Structure 1
Amino acid sequence: MGLVTQIAVTTDPETASDFGSQLQYSPTTLPDPLTISPASGTVELGDLIIVSSRISPDPIETNEIAVHIPIGAEAWQLVLDYTGMQTSINLTGWSATPDPANERILFKPNTGHATLTPTQGVTLQLSKLRINRQVGTAPVVIALKWRTPGSTSYRTEEQTLSLGKFPPGFYLRDFKADNAYIENGDPVTLSWDHSENATCHLLYESAEIPVTDYSKFPVQDIRRNTMFYLRARAQAGTGTAERTLSYYVTVNRPDLEVRDLEIGGKARMFTRQTVTVPSTMYSYATAQTDGLLSVNVFSSTLTIYLETSPGYYAMQYRATGGPESYVMVPVMKGQKVNFRWAESPRAGNMFWFAFGDGEFLYD
């Protein structure tokens, strides 16, 4: 499996921060991804850097951060042993102690406890890890012991990071788009780099596109904010290793689809366009978006037909010159409208109230 972050938090609901976990962790490995050791002989080494951050209104105190690294030769274990492991932490006055009997590394402040501020960052680094020989996913559990200032008892918050181990030569990297911010309807070109032993698919919304033979791929007509995923799989013995990267593209003024919408303040629902009243006896127009067509006839009679199926029009509305000549016609996006005047002179006015900014255009 690929490098995936899974969070399983256990905190006291009466003391847990409204902002979620006390620390949020982001893992990075060198190499990226980690490579398994050969079946015999040489052992592959790897580094694990865990960057944690806080966004909380209150400080906390901690006396221990434990990183549990599973030892063994199985696919779900990460390292063969702790031999030669090097550890470091970015906080002054802290020390780290490997505890292989309990399969963990303990990071502790030398003064007994330390304060983590509301925006404190903590970086833990484990270097020269001896990666085992099986492709798979290893759970790395981080346990933070913490308390609120003035309290005497500590609580434990645990989060699990899943680290993938991959066959030699496998890589998937540099997944990006030529533009991360585009206008509605613009295309993007995605690019990446992958190893020859990888089978790749591009995934977004409901699409899944095989792209093994590509290093670039254009995607047309993007109308909403979109998360793109690039998934690579490689065969390793009887198992399969999988890694997924993601890239987010933001669309200016995107199309939106919502089930329910509640507005607490002011909202602009329409744009108004003045439409020239057709001067010929027969005219056709097409709505570029959903909207309402307001028609007021001063003289003659105007009959309005809406296309109900391709090429078939049904009479919907009729307005005859006079004080009661006003009609409001609902029109759907892409729907064609046929105007038919009875006789001359022909006079009136029309306004297009669009749900958005789509125009009402004569064909």
Structure 2
Amino acid sequence: TPIETNEISVYVPIGSEAWQLVLDLTGLQTSINLTGWTATPDPTNERILFKPNTGHATLTPEQGITVQLNKLRINRQVGTAPVTIELKWRTPGTTNWRTEQQTLSIGKFPAGFYLRNLKADPPHYIENGDSVTLTWERSTIGSETYHLLYENTEIDVTKYSTLPVHDIRRNTMLYLRGRIQQGTGTAERTINTYITVNKPDLEVGTLHVNQTTSLAGPVLALKATWVNQSLPYSGWVKATAPTDGILTVTMVKNSEVKIKIGTNEAVTVRSMYNSGTWDHSYASFPVPQGSEMAIERVRQGDSAREFPEFLWYAFGDGQGLTFRQ
């Protein structure tokens, strides 16, 4: 959707402190890639104001805006200065102007500081569980600190310019952060490299499958708990799932049970008699944590010692189940 804009402001902190960027706007040279726009330095409000000569201009989603500020007189105090870009815009056909801002943190580093060329060997693509060796170039003018960050790991690498990273099992972005402080001012630079893992381990919060899913390899659950010993010979018994899990039942000949999970209707599971033999039917029920499971053994089987077998597979802590009537 196109938008209309009547001004773009670039706010530049003026002064000699660590958190300020420029001494003044003297000698500033500006440019913008949009035709028919004029830039006006506004030292009083510490900004450079860009305005279209026609009062307002229309921007399409495909358009990018490039603003350049050249010949800035940067102050020499080490620190980080906030540069804010502000856009006033409205939807075509409306009258109210809206304001959106984006702030960039601009570091001012002392002469001789550098951090560059973060590389991985092997480069970028590895097998699951492999290692990489990182190398980089950095300055050592005296007060720098360097840290490697990835996933939930942070390693102080101030004294190094190479480091092995072992057992990488998922696609990983590695960041190298350099920081230097002088007086009360701090400046920071971060570079990164990305490692792609063939057949990576995956960790997801919720997985929705709308079509058929094929699993290559075993499906692992935690230890199964045999729950038959807590079931009476008749009547309903109930238990609350301590974790997410799966309740399974394997039938014996001429047996029948009813199973109810949460607020769902009870399901009847019975062994089937086919072509002169009993089919030891099997059923499984996914159970969310906190849901109530209810079981009734309607018919236990031909033998007094034959019972349908119930197993509980818990995903997480809390294996056991306590059934109550």
TM-score by length of 2: 0.62
Partner of 1:80, secondary structure, is: coil
Which one of 23, 32, 36 corresponds to residue 89 of structure 1? 32
**Which structure 2 residues correspond to residues 1-363 of structure 1 after superposition, within 5 A?**
58-178=1-121, 179-197=123-141, 198-237=144-183, 239-271=185-217, 290=220
How far apart are the structure 1 equivalents of 2:119 and 2:27?
Answer: 37
Partner of 2:72, secondary structure, is: strand
Give deviations 1:277-333, integer Å, cap 9, x for gaps.
Answer: xxxxxxxxxxxx8479xxxxxxxxxxxxxxxxxxxxxxxxxxxxxx999xxxxxxxx
Partner of 1:140, secondary structure, is: strand
How far apart are the structure 1 equivalents of 2:221 and 2:84?
Answer: 55
The one-letter amino acid paired with 1:86 is: Q
Where does the alignment leave 5 or more consecutive residues of structure 2 unmatched?
223-277, 281-325
How far apart are the structure 1 equivalents of 2:126 and 2:2?
Answer: 40
TM-align CA RMSD? 2.7
Contact 2:113/2:139 (<8 A) preserved: yes
Give deviations 1:15-41, integer Å, cap 9, x for gaps.
Answer: xxxxxxxxxxxxxxxxxxxxxxxxxxx
How far apart are the structure 2 equivalents of 1:126 and 1:164?
Answer: 16
Identity %: 69
How far apart are the structure 1 equivalents of 2:56 and 2:147?
Answer: 48
The one-letter amino acid paired with 1:102 is: N
Give deviations 1:70-112, integer Å, cap 9, x for gaps.
Answer: 1111222111100111111112222211111111111122222
Contact 1:167/1:241 (<8 A) preserved: no
Partner of 1:101, secondary structure, is: helix
Give deviations 1:204-226, integer Å, cap 9, x for gaps.
Answer: 22332232333332222211011
Partner of 1:271, secondary structure, is: coil
Where does the alignment leave 5 or more consecutive residues of structure 1 unmatched?
1-57, 273-288, 293-322, 326-363
The structure carrying a bigger strand percent of its residues is: 1
Deviation at 1:237, TM superposition (A): 3.2
Contact 2:80/2:187 (<8 A) preserved: no
How far apart are the structure 1 equivalents of 2:64 and 2:81?
Answer: 25
Deviation at 1:124, TM superposition (A): 0.7
- Residues 62 and 241 (structure 1), Cα distance of their counterparts in 2 relative to 1, 3 Å cut: closer
Deviation at 1:234, TM superposition (A): 2.4
- Residues 73 and 238 (structure 1), Cα distance of their counterparts in 2 relative to 1, 3 Å cut: closer
TM-score by length of 1: 0.56
- Residues 243 and 119 (structure 1), Cα distance of their counterparts in 2 relative to 1, 3 Å cut: same
The one-letter amino acid paired with 1:207 is: T
Deviation at 1:65, TM superposition (A): 0.7
- Give the total of aligned pairs: 224
- Residues 155 and 259 (structure 1), Cα distance of their counterparts in 2 relative to 1, 3 Å cut: closer
